[in-house]
Amino acid sequence: MNKSKNKNNLNSVAKLLDGEINKSDIIQSVHSILKSIGEDTNRSGLQGTPDRIARMYNEVFDGYRTDPKALINDALFEVTYDEMVIVKDIEYSSMCEHHMLPFFGRAHVAYIPNGQVIGLSKIPRIVDMFSHRLQLQERLTIQIADFLEESLDPQGVAVVVEGLHLCSMMRGVKKTNSRMITSAMRRTFLNNKNTRDEFLEHLQRSSKEML
């Protein structure tokens, strides 16, 4: 993976911190959408809807306002450990940038340390940071892998993301059981088949089998 590409990705993340959600614009826009589809914005069930959506957007899109440097902060620790670290079944939810409909599922993240490890809770927070934006699942997968590679400089990183997409479940092809799987492999996970296979075998095992 090109180091300059990784750094550009992190810089683009930092630029997003300058903006804050504009609730008044969202309220006005939702009001216009409701009128445009033929709804009565004055009926009791809809009177508070624009404000509720603005408050919801403030929550589901808080990834735009998350400082990646502050996120990992002092959670990098020097450890003499060079075996695989896996955090699997990380629940996430995001919004598709094409139709602004939700997609959701689980992310599985692994890395092999190169002198330092990251605090356990930080990996799910990294997934949240990137998923709480308008996204494509392909880009989400790459961003998680690139961020860990740039932050940890590990021997390798692997990310697998599974997702159910409402944009294909409730519109278009309307396939309710289809699931999308994306992956990003870096360094030894990409170059060493045995390492990659070990990671994938762990994903196939249930949590009960691992305990």
116 catalytic per annotation:
no
The model's pLDDT over 48-81, given as tens digits with 9 standing for 90+, comes to: 999 999 999 999 999 999 999 899 988 999 999 9
Of 108, 132, 137, 143, which is the active-site residue?
137
Q: Please report how the helices 49-60 and 23-36 are oriented relative to each other, as an axis angle in degrees rounded to 10.
A: 130
202 catalytic per annotation:
no
Of 99, 150, 198, 202, which is the active-site residue?
99
How far apart, in whole angstroms, are the C-alpha atoms of residue 156 and residue 77? 17
- In this model, does residue 111 exceed pLDDT 90? yes
Of 39, 167, 198, 202, which is the active-site residue?
167
31 catalytic per annotation:
no
Q: DSSP state, 27?
A: H
Output the pTM of the full model: 0.89
Of 96, 143, 155, 162, which is the active-site residue?
96
User: Could you give the domains of the chain?
Assistant: 22-60 (1.10.286.10), 73-210 (3.30.1130.10)
167 catalytic per annotation:
yes
Q: Are 130 and 92 in contact (CB under 8 A)?
A: no
Of 28, 47, 91, 98, which is the active-site residue?
98
The model's pLDDT over 135-160, given as tens digits with 9 standing for 90+, comes to: 999 999 999 999 999 999 999 999 99
97 catalytic per annotation:
yes
Q: What is the per-residue pLDDT for 20?
A: 72
Q: What is the per-residue pLDDT for 9?
A: 53
Of 28, 47, 97, 138, which is the active-site residue?
97
204 catalytic per annotation:
no
Average pLDDT score, the chain: 91
Of 108, 132, 143, 165, which is the active-site residue?
165
Q: What is the per-residue pLDDT for 18?
A: 56
Q: Which residues contact 44 (CB under 8 A, 6 or more apart)?
A: none
78 catalytic per annotation:
no
